[in-house]
């Protein structure tokens, strides 16, 4: 876990409130931050679900595609990981060496 549990819950509460108050369509940054707060609490399936909803609405959210790429690498779901990697590469080709380096690290940690 990256942050103490209390901070993650506080972040989730505040981001949830921001989400409720924001007009439609919801600001992608709030949705992404909500997903990250769930990740801080080790609720990775919830995080992935929110990120998938986000990328279905905002096809330019490279951070969400990157996080989904890494998530699927850790889950050993190579076909989905490849798909998300392709989207990251299309949006930010210069970022791929770093993204792949992290993916390799995640793959060795989950063996």
Digit-coded pLDDT (tens) for 46-73: 999 999 999 999 999 999 999 999 999 9
pTM of the model: 0.89
**Mean pLDDT confidence for 77-100:** 97
Q: Hey, where are the domains in the chain?
A: 1-58, 60-111
Which residue did the predictor score with more confidence, 10 or 78? 78
d(CA 17, CA 65): 25
Q: What is the pLDDT of residue 2?
A: 47
Q: For residue 22, what are the contacts with CB-CB under 8 A and spacing of at least 6?
A: 30
* Whether the predicted pLDDT of 1 surpasses 90: no
Please report the pLDDT score of residue 63 as a whole number.
96
């Amino acid at each position: 876990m990256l942050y103490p549990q209390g901070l993650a819950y506080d972040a989730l509460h505040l981001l949830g409130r921001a989400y409720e108050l924001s007009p439609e369509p919801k600001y992608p940054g709030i949705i992404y931050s909500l997903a990250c707060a769930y990740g801080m609490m080790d609720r990775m399936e919830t995080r992935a679900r929110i990120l998938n909803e986000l990328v279905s609405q905002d096809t330019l959210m490279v951070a969400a595609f990157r996080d989904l790429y890494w998530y699927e690498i850790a889950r050993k779901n190579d076909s989905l990981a490849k798909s998300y990697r392709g989207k990251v590469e299309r949006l930010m080709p210069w970022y791929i060496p770093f993204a792949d380096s992290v993916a390799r690290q995640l793959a060795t940690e989950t063996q």
